[in-house]
Structure formats: structure tokens, C-alpha cells
Amino acid sequence: MFKILKYSFYDLMRSKWSYFYFLFYLLLGFLLLFLNNDVSKGIITLLNIVVVLVPLIGTIFGIMYFYNAREFTTLLLAQPIKRSHIFLGQFLGVGGSLTLCLVLGLGIPFVLYGLLRSGAIWDFSLLLVVGACLTLIFTALAFNVALGNTNRIKGFGYAVLLWLFLAIVYDGLFLLSLLIFEEYPLDTYALIGSMANPIDLSRILILLKLDISVLLGYTGAVFKSFFGTSKGLIIALIILVLWIVIPVRLMVWQGNKKDF
């Protein structure tokens, strides 16, 4: 497994797309800090980028890599290697290299602009952890889509649709349901509904740090016990990890039973 991981990882590290991704974040980080010159304000802007762009790039990279490495995968399958090791190795290779690009690309400018001396370091680390989780989640989801569709165009389309659904459409439907049932007690439903989508979940995790004043202003006791204590942070992190584990298990299971 580690050999395959190593191979995928180095393969991706040499590819120009990884450099492009890395340089994009590097530039973005410097630009944000140059325009704002305020580390904590830069983090609010980064929030939007992390919860929208990181999943998109994870999805596209994942699906592109899987289809491109298809012949190589078929070759590997002929070797005496466990199937789960092949797919896990490839998944970790893609996810790992993307995470590395993200962490370094955003980390370097912020460290240079005095992050270590500012109080925002924990908010920033949380942002990076959430970004890494989102990368892994959406790479795993993309692998699932790719394993389910032999047709590249179809697979690509489904993957992008999946991203679009989770990033935008889900929130729209969610809002609509909240407005329709506004007469009923909604706080538990609202919390569960936002846990069911990794993008919403990540957003809330970061909001716990940034907009705590308005979140605590809401009257519901459920919200208060969730947002007001560290319980909320811990539960959200656990569910985020579950969001990685379940698609990965699904991917391994699909890979094992698929007829190549």
C-alpha cells in the first residue's frame, strides 16, 4: 500500500497541476494579507474559499487522477496486491498531495505575515484542519463516483453535480424547509440538517470561532448548549472524521466487488 501511495504521491508532486494549485494558494494568501494586512480578517475571507473551492478542487483532482491512472490501475490489479491497498494508496496519494499544497500554500504567507505572534493562530489551524478534511472527503467521494462510472464524461459530470449539490443546492433546500416549517421547533432539525452536509459542517466549525456572538444570541437551548460549550466543537470534528471514514470504506467496498 505504501509503495502505491508513494508512487501516486510523487507522481502528483511532479505534475504541473499540483504546482498550479500550490501557487494559487500561495498567491491568494499573500494577496489577502497584502490587501487586508490583518490576519484575523483574512481568515474570514479564507473561510469562503476553503468551504467552496477546496471541495471543488478535491473533486476534480480526484476524478481526473482516477481516470488518467486507469491503465496503470488495471496493470496493478493483475499483480498479487490486495485491491483495497491499491485504491487506498491512490486515494491517500491524491488526498495527501492536495492537503500538502493547501497547508503550505496558505501557511507560508500567513506565517510570514506574523501569524505566530497573533492570536488568530488557533482559528487558522482549525481552518487548515477543516480544509484538509474537506480535501479528503471530496477526493473519496470523487473516487466513489469514478468507480461507479466507466464513462469518463458521465463520471466527471456526476462528480461536479455532487459538488454543486452539496455546496449550493443543499443549502437552498435546507433554507426552504426551515422557512416552510417555521411554526415548529426547529433547532434540533437545523443542527442535524447541517451535520448531514460536510460543507455546512465545516462552515459551522469555523463559525464557532468567528461569529460566536451572533450564534449565542439565538434563543434555542439546543443551540446554546451546542455552540456555547466545547461540546459543539468536539461533536462537529467527530462527524467530520466520520465523513472521511464512511466514503473511504464505501470506496474500498466498491473497489473490491467491481469487475474490471
Partner 1 sequence: MSYKWAIGCILFGIAFVQAETIRVCSSCTYTSIKDAVLIAKPYDTVLVENGIYKEINIWIDKPLTLEGLDLPVIDGEDRGEIITIVSDDVQLSGFLIRNVGTSYTADYAAVRVIKSKNFTIENLQLEQLFFGIYLEKSDHGKVINNRIIGDAVEEFNSGNGIHLWYSNHVEVLNNRIEKVRDGIYLEFSDNILIRNNKSLNNVRYGLHFMFSNEDSYEENLFENNGAGVAVMFSKNIRMTDNTFRNNWGPTSYGLLLKEIYDAEIKNNRFIKNTIGINVEGSNRIRYQQNDFINNGWALKVTGGCYSNMFEENNFLSNSFDISYNGQLNDNKFDGNYWSNYTGYDLDKDGIGDVPYRPVKLFSYIVNRTPETIILLRSLFMDLINFSERVSPVFTPDNLIDARPQMQQI
By CB under 8 A, name the binding residues for partner 1: 41, 44, 47-48, 51-52, 167-168, 171-172, 174-175, 178-179, 182, 186-187, 189-191, 193-194, 200, 203-204, 207, 211-220, 223-224
**Shortest Å, Cβ 167 to partner 1:** 6
**Shortest Å, Cβ 199 to partner 1:** 8
**Shortest Å, Cβ 210 to partner 1:** 8
By beta-carbon proximity to partner 1, the closer residue of 24 and 189 is 189
Quote the longest CA-to-CA distance of the chain.
61
By beta-carbon proximity to partner 1, the closer residue of 51 and 86 is 51
Cell of 198: 460536510
**Shortest Å, Cβ 160 to partner 1:** 15
By beta-carbon proximity to partner 1, the closer residue of 26 and 228 is 228
* One-letter identity of residue 174: F
Residue by residue, DSSP assigns 115-174 as: TTTSTTHHHHHHHHHHHHHHHHHHHHHHHHHHHH-SSHHHHHHHHHHHHHIIIIIHHHHH
**Shortest Å, Cβ 102 to partner 1:** 19
| Angle between the N-to-C axes of helices 187-195 and 170-180, in degrees from 0 to 180, rounded to the nearest 10 | 170
The SS3 call for residue 87 is helix
By beta-carbon proximity to partner 1, the closer residue of 89 and 203 is 203
Taking the mean position of all CA atoms in its chain, how far away is CA 106?
15
By beta-carbon proximity to partner 1, the closer residue of 187 and 233 is 187
Q: How far apart are CA 196 and CA 193, in angstroms?
A: 5
By beta-carbon proximity to partner 1, the closer residue of 15 and 38 is 38
Q: How far apart are CA 222 and CA 227, in angstroms?
A: 9
Cell of 134: 474537506
**Shortest Å, Cβ 185 to partner 1:** 9
Q: How far apart are CA 111 and CA 61, in angstroms?
A: 27
By beta-carbon proximity to partner 1, the closer residue of 75 and 175 is 175
Per-residue b or e along 91-120, where b marks 16 or more CB atoms closer than 10 Å to that residue's CB: bbbbbbbbbbbbbebbbebbeebebeeeeb
Per-residue b or e along 34-72, where b marks 16 or more CB atoms closer than 10 Å to that residue's CB: eeeeebeebbeebbeebbbbbbbbbbbbbbbbbbebeee
**Shortest Å, Cβ 194 to partner 1:** 5
